[in-house]
Structure 1
């Protein structure tokens, strides 16, 4: 069964969204220090306190202007990183893990992702991999100190653009500890009728999703509605082709949730009713791989 987690990237009211999802049994809330212009993590803390069983996934990478100024003053960020508003440098990783624990009021974080570690990637894979390895080392140290349970990589285009592969990430994590027993536990990537390549690859047994699941990691699909834009691009005929009687939102979620090997998808919400309907779709009957392949073949000329 595919899980439905709450994604807060586009939430205008993270507290309401989290309250709705947590009350409905949502297993995981995904956030980041920069979400909500830097306000979401602190806002989520009371909801997380009321629902201690809800897992929390946060990130290290993107930084707001205010956060960059503070980190510069603390000496954990250099000017170039502050200007780029992005860093996975070890000093900043350690600093942001501590800040996230304080803001979320969770002494132990369930998951900490490197957030788009390929951001501003200049084609130097060796240099990028060295930076990821150093960040993994900082995360392993935090795990050893009991600050987090696991870590991973959340990327929009890293797998697609060839910046890294699942075996690359596994190797880099293993190099930090000298063996296979690492804290690398999850990846997050876009999976939708727009970002359809991971679905097509997974059906054929390739790509990052089955590779990550084969490594024993969680795989979370982000943006299943492509930032809310996708339903308007699905006409009634296409929705009905995907699943008889489905409306566009249901059709889009069904395609993403049916991806072989996917642990779950992340979705925002503003309504308890909408969340319930989405959960029923995501956790309900899945499309068969053959049916999913037919849909991918139909959509490929559009994507």
Structure 2
């Protein structure tokens, strides 16, 4: 496996070669304001080839943040990223310390290469090998979610193998609100204590560097909603698991013209004060990354993509936004759009 993880020295050097990109600086590394997302697409070699070309182009031209998940495209997305990283790093076209990789687990995945749909993967891999039990499953509609630490230890190692990385920079619990809906707040937060302790142990073992929650609605809804998750409670749990120097440092949620709740809705309570999710994250020392800048394509025909993307990037408190870029043309267009306001946000410092 490739050793190392993103660091401030090497990412700073990376952006010295790509000084037209308005990179953001946090204590551990510098990061591009957009990340290449790998969620959408078919589970085919044709789409994998497109993604690999986009990944290579992006990493060569100023995007040093890649976002994925174990379940994306039947595990193909992680494997495609691993192939590109291995080729570029072994070929001395990229240093491991220059790139930030985030991935996720929590939803039951399938494995297209093993010809296993999620139901079969659950039965033949997870249940058969006693990685989880039926009682560990929290089911809402077609989504099956787990919070058991044993599953995450297994999933983390699978992702590390796919990515060919010894250390994953950011490891998210994927769509935890599914389990929240089933368990309710008391049981959910109790289980989160054990899971955060597992993730802190993974940090200590060098498997991951930071962890967080990648959500869809949990940070956008009001506290009376069954999907709601309190960021302050998560921080207190992280402090129980890892002390004041805990590694729960990132959250992810949708943010676009149609979904601006994170900047408008004061649905989070911190020290008795009502704050928006972005304000609460800032107050609690959490970095906010966002997804779906084009609202899963619904906004593309309404306004120019460059305008939509810049409105997200310019929102105070957003570190980086995940944009799906299966085609090199999308990478080029998005890079062109973010350089338009370079002088305004170049090297913005956000220290916590």
Shorter-chain-normalised TM-score: which range? 0.7 to 0.9
1:122 aligns with 2:209: no
Aligned position for 1:271 = 327
Paired residues for 1:125-274 under 5 Å: 125-161=185-221, 162=223, 163-177=228-242, 179-201=243-265, 206-232=275-301, 234=302, 239=303, 248-274=304-330
1:74 aligns with 2:129: yes
Q: Deviations over 1:217-248 (max 9, x none)?
A: 3211100001112112x2xxxx4xxxxxxxx2
Whether the 8 Å contact between 1:45 and 1:105 is mirrored in structure 2 is yes
Whether the 8 Å contact between 1:56 and 1:109 is mirrored in structure 2 is yes
Aligned length: 271
Q: Deviations over 1:265-301 (max 9, x none)?
A: 1111133343132123235429x9xxxxxxxxxxxxx
Q: Deviations over 1:150-190 (max 9, x none)?
A: 0000000111233222212111111113x211011100010
Whether the 8 Å contact between 1:31 and 1:40 is mirrored in structure 2 is yes
Q: 56, 64, 72: which one pairs with 1:27? A: 64
Aligned position for 2:106 = 61
Aligned position for 1:8 = 38
Find the aligned partners of 2:251 and 2:55 in 1 and give their Cα distance: 22
Find the aligned partners of 1:285 and 1:191 in 2 and give their Cα distance: 20
Q: Deviations over 1:104-151 (max 9, x none)?
A: 110111010000111141372111111222211110111111111000
Q: Secondary structure at the match of 1:75?
A: coil
Give the gaps of 5 or more residues in structure 2. 1-21, 25-32, 89-93, 110-117, 267-273, 345-352
CA shift at 1:25, angstroms?
Answer: 2.3
Q: Secondary structure at the match of 2:322?
A: strand
CA shift at 1:197, angstroms?
Answer: 1.3
CA shift at 1:80, angstroms?
Answer: 4.2
What is the TM-score of this pair, normalised by structure 2?
0.71
CA shift at 1:37, angstroms?
Answer: 1.8
Whether the 8 Å contact between 2:220 and 2:265 is mirrored in structure 1 is no
Find the aligned partners of 1:226 and 1:195 in 2 and give their Cα distance: 8
Whether the 8 Å contact between 1:4 and 1:266 is mirrored in structure 2 is yes
Aligned position for 2:169 = 110
CA shift at 1:44, angstroms?
Answer: 1.6
Root-mean-square deviation (CA, aligned residues, Å) is 2.3
